[in-house]
């Protein structure tokens, strides 16, 4: 390893189990010399295995509901106490859609569910940064990263209201990132990751199809959770001190593709089978 985060301190939101990108980020951050606090909502912690990750990385766990300013204030205060000072990096890896879980079509949402998903998936990012900003909890040249998906820019019908949540998440990164950069020299970015088989992602209808399609479309193939963690570590490090307000596509090239030869071949074989056989 490279000691890219030697001496740095952070908070990692959203590690649930070994399939979580946040889990991989925590493992890699530990390998690169960082110390950090792990956090998730109390209900998520009961469902996951975060205590195993804490033991593996020598970390402490502080439960927090990211939609509660009281919980976030307690989290940040306790984190600075545990870590012995201000924070150098924060990962926001939180997303949830009740409409997706309940099978509600995008055109027929339960708007109370919509508001809950919006609060958890997007507005929580603003809440986290607001509390960090008000408490002056970030070190200069610190880095805040949130995980996104390109349904924020393009139509993926079954991604449902999570697409709207990710669009708002990315807007928050730009808008709050300006003030965090201007006033605190802190950078804020989002990573638009390939479809990744996490516990949360698997709840989206047709998710296996997303993954297979993106793999065939992307010249480098899909980025894995571990590769996403590596990219996140680079954004936490001092090697990217002037990168901010960006939505960074980490998707094997998918975001710039129109069509690939693999996808076209599949299409032609299905639509024109006789021509493929030369008949």
Give the Cα separation of 97 and 204 in Å (integer): 9
CB within 8 Å of 222: residues ≥ 6 apart? 194, 195, 196, 211, 214, 215, 251, 252, 254
Q: How far apart are CA 186 and CA 131, in angstroms?
A: 14
Is 84 known to sit in a ligand binding site?
no
SS3 257: coil
Please work out, in degrees rounded to the nearest 5, the angle formed at the alpha carbon of residue 51 by the alpha carbons of 7 and 118.
85
172 is in an annotated binding site: no
Q: Which residues form the catalytic set?
A: 149, 159
53, burial (CB in 10 Å: exposed 0-12, middle 13-18, buried 19+): buried
Q: Is 82 flagged in the annotation as binding?
A: no
Q: Is 79 annotated as a binding residue?
A: no
Query: Is 263 annotated as ligand-binding?
Result: no
Annotated binding residues: 14, 20-21, 94, 166
Q: What residues form the annotated binding site for NAD(+)?
A: 14, 20-21, 94, 166
């Amino acid at each position: 390893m490279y000691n890219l985060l030697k001496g740095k301190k952070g908070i990692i939101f959203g590690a649930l189990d070994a399939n979580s990108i946040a889990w991989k980020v925590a493992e890699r951050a530990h390998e690169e010399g960082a110390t950090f606090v792990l956090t998730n909502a109390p209900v998520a912690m009961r469902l996951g295995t975060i205590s195993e990750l804490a033991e593996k990385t020598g970390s402490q766990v502080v439960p927090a509901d990211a939609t509660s300013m009281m919980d976030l204030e307690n989290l940040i205060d306790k984190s600075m106490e545990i870590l012995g000072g201000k924070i150098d990096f924060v990962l926001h890896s939180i997303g949830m859609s009740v409409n997706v879980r309940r099978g509600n079509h995008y055109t027929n949402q339960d708007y109370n569910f919509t508001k809950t998903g919006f609060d958890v998936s997007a507005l929580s990012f603003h809440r986290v940064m607001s509390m960090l900003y008000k408490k002056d909890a970030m070190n200069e040249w610190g880095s805040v990263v949130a995980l996104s998906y390109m349904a924020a820019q393009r139509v993926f019908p079954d991604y449902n209201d999570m697409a709207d949540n990710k669009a708002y998440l990315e807007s928050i990164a730009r808008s709050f990132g300006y003030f965090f950069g201007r006033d605190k020299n802190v950078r804020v970015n989002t990573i638009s990751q390939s479809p990744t088989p996490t516990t949360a992602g698997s709840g989206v209808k047709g998710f296996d199809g997303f993954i297979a399609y993106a793999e065939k479309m992307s010249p480098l193939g899909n980025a894995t959770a571990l590769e996403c963690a590596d990219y996140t570590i680079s954004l936490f490090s001092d090697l990217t001190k002037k990168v901010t307000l960006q939505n960074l596509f980490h998707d094997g090239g998918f975001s710039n593709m129109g069509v690939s030869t693999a996808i076209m071949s599949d299409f032609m074989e299905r639509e024109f089978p006789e021509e493929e056989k030369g008949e």
